[in-house]
Structure 1
C-alpha cells in the first residue's frame, strides 16, 4: 500500500541538512585518485562529492604556511601531470594532526562531474602506464622463472578451455567444484615447488627497495595477470575493504573451497588457497599455544581464563581452543578489530558453537592508535592470562612493533603471556605470493627480528616458535610471576 505525500517521512537531526553523496576517492578512482592542488598547496584526495572534496597532506609546509580556512583560490585536480579539473574554490576547513594536514574544499561555482572524472582518470592511468619510465628490471633468472610460472598456469587454463569449457553449460555447481579440485590436486606438487622458488628469489632482493619495486612490477604484469580470474587473488590485489587481510580473505584461506562461477575461476582460486595454507596452521598454532598455557594453569586449580585477540578477524581459533581444553575450563574473551563486519562475523560464529556457554564474549571496535593510548576502553585488556595477535604486527614497522608488544605485555598478569604471529622471510613462507603477486605488503621477519620486538621488555621470558609449515613465527613473551 503506497503512502500519501503528507505521510512520507523526511530526515531527522543533522541529516535534515542535505549534502550531496560523498565517495571514498581510492574506491571510485581504482586506487589511484588524482591529486588536489589549491593555489600552491598539494594534497592527496581522500573523498569527493559533486560540490567539494576532502584531502590529506602528509608533508608540513612550515616555511610556506598553508592558507587559512575561508581562503578562496583556484582548485585543480591532476593525474600524472595532466589536468582533470580547474575551478574556483574555498578552503572550508584545515586541521593539523600527528599524521599531517587534513583539509576540505567547497567549489564556488562549478560542480565536479564525477562520472567524467572517473572515466578520464582511468584513461590517463591506462595511457601513462604504457609510456612512463620503466621500473628497474629484475634479473634474467627471475624473468625466466615468471615465464615458467605463467606457462604452468596457462597450461592448465588451456586444458580447461579445450576439454572442460565445451561441457560446462551441461554440468552443475557440484560437478564444476569437483573438476576444479581434481585439477588443483594434480597441480599442487609442482605449484608448491614454484611457490618456494619464488619465495627464495624474492627474499634475496627484498631488502633493496628499488629492486623490490622492479620485481613487483614485473610480477604483476606477468604472473598476476594469469591468476586474477580467481576470486581470492582478485580480492587480495584490489582490496575492496580498503586494506589487505580483511576477514573475508581470511575465511577464504580457512575454508579452502572453490569460489567463482566457471571451472577456470575455481581452479585459479584453489591455487591461491594452496599458497595460503599457512593461514590455517597459524590459527591452529596460536590455539595450541593458548591451550597449552591454559592446561598448565588448570593444573594449579584455575578454571576460568581471560584472553584478548587483537586484530581478531573471524576469530576461528576459538573453536580449536574449546576442543583442546576440558569442558570445565571457561573463557572470558575480548575480540578487538577495526572492522565492524569482522566482529559481527566472529560473534555470529561463536553463537553457533556447541560449547558456546563456555565463552563470555566482549567486542571492541577500536583502532591501533587507540590501543596505544591510555583510554578507559583499554581497561578491558588488564590482567589477561593471554593477549595474542596472529596477523597484525606484520603491518608495523620495527619501532611500532616494539611499542605494540610492550603495550600488550603491560596488560597481562604475572604468569601470563603475549603471543604474536608474524609471517617469516623463508622459502617455506609466503613472501612471493603475498608481496609480489598481490601487492600485500608486510614485514616478513626472521627469528632475530622477532626477538627484537621484545627487546625493550626487561625480565621477560622470550621464545620464538615456528608453525608446522615454517611459514609463520610466533613470538611468545611470558611475564614472570613476582
Structure 2
C-alpha cells in the first residue's frame, strides 16, 4: 500500500542536513584520480562531491605540521601537471589514525563539475605518454612469461566468448556461476603453475627498486589488463577504500564465491581467489596457534583467556577459535582495526555465532601508532595471553616492525605470546600476483627477516613457522613465565 505525504518521515539526526552525493575517487576516475593541492600541500584524493573532497594520506607523525582545520586557501585538482580545477576552499577537518591523515575540504564559492572532471581527467590520462627512458624494461625472459600468462588467460576467455557468449543472456545466475566454477577448476592448476613461475622470476630482482618498477609496469600493461574485469582483481588494483587489504577483499578470499555479472568476470574472479587461498590457511593457522595455547594451559575450571587481534579485519578466525577449544573456555577479545566498517562486519558476524556467550568482545578503532605511544587508552591491551596480527606487519618497514613487535610484547603477560603473520618471498607465496599484478605493496619477508623483527627482545623464545601452503610465515614470540 502506498504512503501518503503525512506518512513520510524523512531523515533523522544529522542526516536531516542534506549533503550532495559523495563518490569514491578511484572508482569514478578509473583508478587514477587527480591530485588535490591546497595552497602548498599535496593530497591523495579519496572521495569527492559537488561541494567538497576528502583525502587520505600516509604521513609520518614527525612531518612538518599541515595547515590547521578552518584555514582558507586556493584548492587545485591536477593530473600530470595539468590543472583541472582552481577555486577557494576551507579545510573543514583533519584527523589522524592508523598512520593515515584524513582531511576534508569544503568549496566556498565554486562547485566541482564532476561529469566534466571525469571526462577531462580521462582525456589527459589517455594523451599522456610515458617515455621509455623512465623505466627499466624487464628482460625478454620475463616478457615471454607475461605473454604466456596472457595467452593462457586469453584461451579461457575465448572459450567464454565463443561458446557461452551466444547463449549467456538465457542463462540464470546459478548457471553462470556453475560454468564459471567449472572453468576456474579447469584452469586452476595451470594458473597456479604460472603464479609460482612468476614468483620465482621476480624474487631475485624484487629488492632492486628500479628493476621492480619496470617489471611491475610491464606486468600491468599486459597481464593485469586481462584480469581487471574480475571484481577481486579490480578491487585489489584500484583500492576503492584508499588502501589495499580492506575487509571486503579479505572476505572475497575467505568466501571463494563467484562475483561479477557475466561468466567471464566470475571466472577471472575465481581464478584470482585460487591464488589467494593462503588467506584462508593464514586464518586457520592463527586460530590453531591460539587454540594450542589455550588447550595447553587450561585448568578445566572455566578458564578465560584475553586475546587481541591487531588489524582484525572481519575476524573470521573467531569461529575456529571457539570450535577448537572446550565449552568451558571463555574469551575476552579486543578487535583493533582502522576501518570502522570492518569492525561493524566482525561484530555482526560474531553476534550470529553459536557459542557467542563464551565471547566478550571489545572493538577499538585506533591507530597502530597510538599503540606505540604510552597512553591510558592502552590499558585495554595489558596482560593479554596472546596478541596476534595476521596481515598487518607486512606493511611496516623493518625498524617500525621491530618497534611494533616490542610494543606488543610489552602488552602480553608472562607466559603470553605475540603471533605475527607475514607473507613470505618464496616461489610458493603470492609476491607476483600481489605486488606485480595488483600493485599491492608489502614487505615479503624471509625466515631471517621474520626473526629480526624480534631482535630487540633478547629474553623471548622466538620461533618461525609456515602455513601449509608455504605462503605465509608466522613469528611466535613467547614471554618467559614468571
Name the TM-score, length of structure 1 as normaliser. 0.87
**RMSD of Structure 2 on Structure 1 (CA):** 3.4
In structure 2, the partner of 1:82 is: 82
Is the contact made by 2:68 and 2:91 (CA closer than 8 Å) also made in structure 1? Answer: no
The 2-side partners of 1:423 and 1:232 are apart by: 19
Query: What are structure 2's unaligned runs of at least 5 residues?
Result: none
**Structure 1, 141-150 or 224-233: larger mean CA deviation:** 224-233
SS of corresponding position for 1:222: helix
Change (3 A) 1:266 1:409: same
Q: Quick one: distance in 2 between partners of 1:85 and 1:148?
A: 43
Aligned to 1:433: 433
Per the alignment, do residues 458 and 78 of structure 1 end up closer, same or farther by CA in structure 2, a change over 3 Å counting? Answer: same
Contact 1:35 1:42 in 2 (8 A): no
Does the 8 Å CA contact 1:21/1:49 hold for their aligned counterparts? yes
Whether the 8 Å contact between 2:302 and 2:328 is mirrored in structure 1 is no
Kept in 1: contact 2:305–2:332 (CA 8 A)? yes
**What is the distance in 1 between the residues matched to 2:265 and 2:475?**
37
Write the distance in 1 (CA, Å) between the matches of 2:376 and 2:394: 27
Task: Give 1:190's aligned residue.
Answer: 190
- 1:34·1:44 contact (CA, 8 Å) conserved in 2? no
Which residue does 1:461 correspond to in 2?
461
- The reply to whether residue 287 of structure 1 matches residue 281 of structure 2 is no
Greater Cα offset, 333-342 or 367-376: 367-376
Unaligned ranges ≥5, structure 1:
none
Residue equivalent to 2:318: 318
> How many Å separate the matches in 2 of 1:97 and 1:317?
29
CA contact (8 A) 1:91 1:103 kept: no
User: Per-residue CA shift, 1:381-426, capped at 9, x if unaligned?
Assistant: 1111111110111111111111111111111110010000000000
CA distance in structure 2 between the partners assigned to 1:314 and 1:154 by the alignment? 34
**Equivalent position of 1:422 in the other structure:** 422
CA shift in 2, pair 1:182/1:24, >3 Å: closer
Question: Residue 307 of structure 1: CA displacement?
Answer: 0.9
CA distance in 2, matches of 1:160, 1:10: 46
Q: Which structure's relative contact order is higher, taking Cα pairs within 8 Å and 6+ residues apart?
A: 2
Rg comparison, structure with higher value: 1
Aligned match of 2:218: 218
Once the two structures are TM-superposed, the CA of residue 159 in structure 1 deviates from its matched residue by 1.4
1:127-157 Cα offsets, whole Å, 9 max, x none, are 1146686522111100000000110111111
- Within 1, Cα distance between the matches of 2:472 and 2:356? 29
**Does the 8 Å CA contact 2:94/2:104 hold for their aligned counterparts?**
no
Matching residue of 1:333: 333
How far apart are 1:164 and its partner, in Å? 2.3
> Who is 2:43 aligned against?
44
Distance 1:375 1:68 in 2: 25
C-alpha offsets along residues 319-358 of structure 1, whole Å, 9 cap, x if unaligned?
Answer: 1112221222111111111112211221222222222222
Alignment of 1:388-407 (within 5 A): 388-407=388-407
How do 1:292-303 and structure 2 match up within 5 A?
292-299=292-299, 303=303
Change (3 A) 1:292 1:24: same
Q: Does the 8 A contact of 1:45 with 1:53 survive in 2?
A: no
CA distance in 1: counterparts of 2:105 and 2:254, whole angstroms: 44
Cα distance in 1, alignment partners of residues 298 and 142 from structure 2: 53
Number of residue pairs the alignment of both structures matches: 475
TM-score (norm 2): 0.87
- Determine the C-alpha separation between the residues in 1 that align with 2:256 and 2:289: 24
